[in-house]
Every structure is written in C-alpha cells, then in structure tokens.
Chains A and B, each alone.
Chain A
Amino acid sequence: MADGTPAPDPAGFASAVRPFLLTAGRVADDGADGHWLPVETQVVATPEGLDALDRLTFEQHDIVAVCRLPQSLAEIAARLRLHLNVVRVLAEDLRAAGQLTVHVPDSGVVQDASVLRRVIDGLRAIPDARGVPSDSD
C-alpha cells in the first residue's frame, strides 16, 4: 500500500524500466495536435481524486497526493523522481478518471502583452538579495 512506501531514494532516479511497466509500455508520444503536454502544464487533484486516495496505489496515489496544491508536470516528476514522460501518461490517465485536472497553458494567453507586463512588474519587485526584507513578508 502506498502509505507505507518509504520516501524515494534521494540519491538517484527511479529505475528506467519500472515506470514504463506502470504505463503498460505506453509513452507520451505526440498528442492529437502533434505536441506533448508542456513541462509547465499545471495539474491539480480534484475532490474526487483526493477522496479516491485510499484506493489508489503507487505512482497514481503519489501523483494525486502531491497535486493537492497545483504542480507543474516537471515538479511532479522531480518530486516523485519519475521520468517526465511517465508523469505525462499517468496524469492523462488520472485526468480521464476524473481524479486530476490538467491545465495546458494557452501559448497565446501566456505570450500576451498584458501577461508579460505582469511578469515584468512582478520581477521588478524582487529585491536584490534574499536577505533584504520585502513588505509582504
């Protein structure tokens, strides 16, 4: 059962083979539109997914659990030490089962001038050094 699973070995990545056994050999190849899910795609557990945690095992359990807060595919892969493409496949399965929502960023929206201006303004507010206190903290 997954709740007894020890923390992943911090020294290295999971085996290259087992994760793909988990996906039954499926790989995250080009989707219908010819693109993989971008690495920054946001994934969030649904209430149904969190309710189902006790019934989920192994990587599926861990992915839903780590997505209580929104995570990018890359963060999920890094935190669970899974290959990115394994996460892509499993996240798609869990989305189809209603246990996750998967939010693919719209590149038109991301590259819109208003969004870029917000990023620029937000970055400008970053102090020079971490030690410098900011008002919000």
Chain B
Amino acid sequence: MTATEPATVRPPLPVKMVISGGFGVGKTTAVGSISEIEPLTTEAAITEVAAGVDDLTHTPRKTTTTVAMDFGCLTIDPTLKLYLFGTPGQERFGFMWDDIVEGAVGGLVIVDTRRLDDCYAAVDYFEHKGIPFAVAANAFDGHVEHTLEEIRWALDVTEGVPVVVFDARERGSVRDALLVVLELALARTSA
C-alpha cells in the first residue's frame, strides 16, 4: 500500500456548535431553519449519571444510553463548514453530552419561557464545561412569557451570558442567535 494520497479530496475544517435545551423547545426546528440539508438523525451514546449522587467522594453510577441526535450543517466556504448538533432532549438531569460537545466552539441553550426549568441542565452543563453559550428564548406564537431580565434572574446566569429572544422557525433569527454565541467565543480568544 502506497503512503501517498495524490487525489484524495481535502475536506473542510469542521466548526461545531451545539444547540441544547429541554425536550420540545425547538432545537431541531432551529437546526433545520439554517441547515443547508434536512436535519439528519443519528444515534449517539450519552452517559447518564444516576440522580442523587453528587458527592465526588463516591463513584456515581453511570450508564450509557443510546439516544437520537439531530444535526445539520452549513458550508461557509469550500474550506470551512459549520456543524450544528442538537443535544438529545433531556427530561432528567445528569446526562453527559461530552461525546457530542467535545471541541464545540459554543452552545445555544433554547428555552421555552413557559417551562424555564427544562433548560437548567443545559445551562449547568455549558457553565461546567466552560463553553461559551447564550440563552435564546424561543418566541412561540411570536411572544415570550417573561422579560429578558426575568429569564436571566430565573436561570441565574452570569452577566457574561447573553440572553436573547428568537424564533426557531426564522432563518435570520437563528442566524443572529448563533452570531451572538460566535461573537462571545471570539471575544474569549482575545481575553
């Protein structure tokens, strides 16, 4: 077997962002609004840490669960491609999405303002991992239930975390929410 690869196509550099939030908040809708392909679904393994074991001196019981994960992509240019991965909807706490999230440049946590507590796990996860993220309140039926200040207070996110209102069905709106995250990631590189 020769070691040279004369005609092998050079792939684009993949840049990954993660779309997260509770079950049914519009993650796949948001991915589909901006992806150049219909969102694809694959099965990924996630680690579920048994609830109630948060004492680090104990070994938490972990089980690996196979879940469906939706994703899409957007070609920026022939050398650069943006991938958007939706974390599986979690009704329970303690999921670890490291397999999906490792190497992501940023995250967008989508919240349904009628059920704010559904997104706590995602907020905690990104804070814990130190991944730049923004909170995007999905304007179902064109409006949100709370002001941005109320959402920020309820989620207890720091001043450095942008909170925006967006519409997961609108391409321009999803684009702008992603830009907020990317600007935050960029600001961090110069910090």
Contact = CB atoms under 8 A, between A and B. Distances in A.
B171 A127 contact: yes
B49 interface: no
A123 B76 contact: yes
B9 A44 contact: yes
Interface string B1-12: 110011111111
Say which size band chain A's interface belongs to. Answer: 35 or more
Kindly state the interface size class of chain B when it binds its partner.
Answer: 35 or more
B43 A13 contact: yes
Contacts of A123: 74, 76, 82, 175, 178-179, 182
Given A48-B1, A101-B5, A122-B80, A42 B11 contact: yes
B54 interface: no
B45 A85 contact: yes
A124 B42 contact: no
Interface in B3-23: 5-16
- Chain A, interface SS category: mixed
Interface string A15-28: 01000000000000
B105 interface: yes
Contact of B40 (A40, A74, A83): A74
A44 B189 contact: no
A77 B71 CA distance: 12
Interface in B33-52: 34, 40-45
Contacts of B179: 120, 123-124
Contacts of A40: 14, 16, 83, 85, 103
B77 interface: yes
Nearest to B183: A120
B156 interface: no
Contacts of B11: 42-44, 70, 103
Interface of A: 13, 16, 35-36, 38-48, 69-70, 72, 74-75, 77-79, 83-85, 97-98, 101, 103, 105, 107, 109-113, 115-120, 122-124, 126-130
23 contacts: A38-B16, A39-B83, A39-B99, A39-B100, A41-B14, A42-B12, A70-B9, A77-B43, A84-B42, A84-B44, A98-B1, A107-B103, A113-B189, A117-B186, A119-B80, A119-B105, A122-B74, A122-B77, A123-B82, A123-B179, A127-B171, A128-B171, A130-B171
List the 3 shortest-distance A-B pairs measured between CB atoms, nearest first. Answer: A128-B172, A70-B11, A122-B76
Given A38-B102, A46-B5, A126-B171, 11 more contacts: A40-B103, A42-B12, A72-B83, A83-B42, A110-B14, A110-B103, A113-B190, A119-B105, A122-B76, A123-B178, A124-B179
